[in-house]
């Protein structure tokens, strides 16, 4: 691993907690990074010169780890990137989107939380990025979630959530039902249905009341929420209650493996997300071959 940040502060923290490991520490503001700063500055200016970044701003930005890290990744100077421990999620995501960019065919990136219960894993999306996704956005989120869940060798069974079951009366339910209709037309093999309440989607007996559903009577393991509020609050309640382990947010739709931590993540959460980043890097490397 590489530690990115203020070298003096990192060494002080290592000494404070009795950590004695030989890992490279890169401080974007150090003199020994002048050559990299010059290269990254020119690249950043070229990327953003028509979007409000002049040479002076580029010179200032590359001394900050939020920009230096994504530029390291873009240049192949690291294989994956974990950021966000001490900063607001959206402020950290901004330079990532500006520098790393989205995968081909992806309109909007999204995020997903893995919830590890005693019985099995569950997946929630979008927990961190899209405030009020349209039906078309939800289609994209569901497809990215399907791909990501499959990468863990798990068959995704996707429930498009609402507070109604297959009635589409409320506006939010109509949005979810529209997304389901598009998904069924575009991806007929995808196991997805809704709109449905989460407790119904997780219960075989309740599902049996809807024999037409693509979920059948096997409970869902992947849940697409109608908006950011419901998704974010749901996983944070679970996290706060400590009734299951939460891993993520897992970013979906980016060109390269970058993941943004929740503020003040625990050591366990950091290690778990780093593991996801390694798997993501390996998957993207294999896709190139």
* Residues of the domain holding 122: 110-241
Among 208, 223, 241, the domain-final residue is: 241
- The mean of the pLDDT values for the chain is 93
Report the number of distinct structural domains present in the chain.
2
One domain for residues 117 and 237: yes
Q: Is residue 191, in this structure, part of any structural domain at all?
A: yes
pLDDT at 87: 83
pLDDT at 284: 80
Average pLDDT for 266-288 = 87
Q: Is residue 284, in this structure, part of any structural domain at all?
A: no
One domain for residues 236 and 119: yes
One domain for residues 95 and 142: no
Q: Is residue 270, in this structure, part of any structural domain at all?
A: no
Nearest-Å Rg of the Cα atoms of the chain is: 21
Q: What is the secondary structure of 139-200 as a DSSP string? A: HHHHHHHHHHHHTTT----EEEE-SSSS---SHHHHHHHHHHHHHHHH-TTS-EEEEE-HHH
Q: Say what the pTM is.
A: 0.90
pLDDT above 90 (res 286): no
One domain for residues 184 and 201: yes
Long-range contact pairs involving 231-234 (C-beta distance under 8 Å, separation at least 24): 231/124, 231/125, 231/126, 231/127, 232/127, 232/128, 234/124
Q: Is residue 54, in this structure, part of any structural domain at all?
A: yes
Q: pLDDT by residue (tens digit) across 53-100?
A: 999 999 999 999 999 999 999 999 999 999 988 888 888 999 999 999
pLDDT above 90 (res 28): yes
pLDDT above 90 (res 157): yes
The 3-state secondary structure of 70-81 reads HHHHHCCCCCCE
Whichever domain contains 195, its CATH number is 3.40.50.10750
Residue 154's closest CA among 120, 177, 131?
120
Give the pLDDT band of residue 250 (cuts 50, 70, 90): very high
One domain for residues 236 and 116: yes
One domain for residues 82 and 182: no
pLDDT at 89: 85
d(CA 245, CA 7): 32
Residue 22 near residue 14, CB atoms below 8 Å: no
pLDDT above 90 (res 133): yes
Q: Is residue 38, in this structure, part of any structural domain at all?
A: yes
pLDDT at 10: 95
pLDDT at 211: 93
Longest dimension (CA), the chain: 67
Residue 270 near residue 118, CB atoms below 8 Å: no
Q: Is residue 32, in this structure, part of any structural domain at all?
A: yes
One domain for residues 87 and 166: no
Q: Is residue 97, in this structure, part of any structural domain at all?
A: yes
Q: Which runs of consecutive H residues, i.e. helices, occur in the chain?
A: 7-16, 34-48, 55-61, 65-74, 89-99, 135-150, 171-186, 198-201, 204-207, 228-241, 267-288
pLDDT at 85: 85
Question: What torsion do the CA atoms of 128, 223, 274, 255 make, to the nearest 10 degrees?
Answer: -70
Per-residue tokens: 250: 């897992």
d(CA 219, CA 94): 36
pLDDT above 80 (res 241): yes
């Amino acid at each position: 691993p590489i530690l990115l940040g203020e070298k003096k502060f990192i060494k002080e923290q290592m000494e404070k907690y009795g950590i004695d490991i030989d890992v490279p520490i890169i401080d974007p503001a150090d003199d020994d990074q002048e050559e990299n700063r010059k290269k990254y500055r020119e690249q950043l200016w070229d990327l953003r010169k028509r979007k409000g970044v002049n040479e002076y701003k580029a010179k200032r930005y590359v001394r900050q780890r939020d920009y230096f890290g994504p530029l390291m990744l873009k240049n192949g100077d690291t294989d994956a990137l974990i950021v966000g421990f001490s900063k607001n999620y959206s402020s950290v995501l901004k330079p990532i989107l500006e520098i790393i960019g989205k995968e081909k065919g992806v309109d909007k990136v999204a995020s997903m939380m893995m919830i590890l219960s005693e019985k099995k894993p569950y997946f929630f999306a979008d927990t961190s990025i899209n405030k009020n996704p349209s039906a078309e956005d939800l289609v994209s989120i569901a497809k990215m979630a399907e791909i990501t869940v499959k990468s863990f060798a798990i068959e995704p069974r996707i429930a498009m959530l609402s507070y109604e079951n297959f009635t589409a009366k409320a506006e939010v339910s109509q949005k979810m039902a529209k997304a389901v209709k598009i998904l069924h037309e575009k991806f007929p093999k995808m196991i997805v249905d809704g709109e449905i309440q989460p407790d119904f989607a997780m219960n075989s007996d309740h599902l049996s009341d809807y024999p037409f559903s693509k979920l059948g009577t096997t409970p869902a393991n992947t849940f697409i929420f109608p908006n950011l509020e419901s998704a974010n609050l749901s996983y944070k309640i679970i996290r706060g209650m400590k009734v299951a382990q939460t891993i993520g947010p897992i970013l979906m739709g980016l060109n390269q493996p970058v993941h943004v931590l929740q503020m003040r993540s625990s050591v366990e959460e950091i290690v778990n997300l780093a593991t996801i980043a390694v798997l993501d890097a390996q998957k993207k490397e294999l896709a190139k071959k």
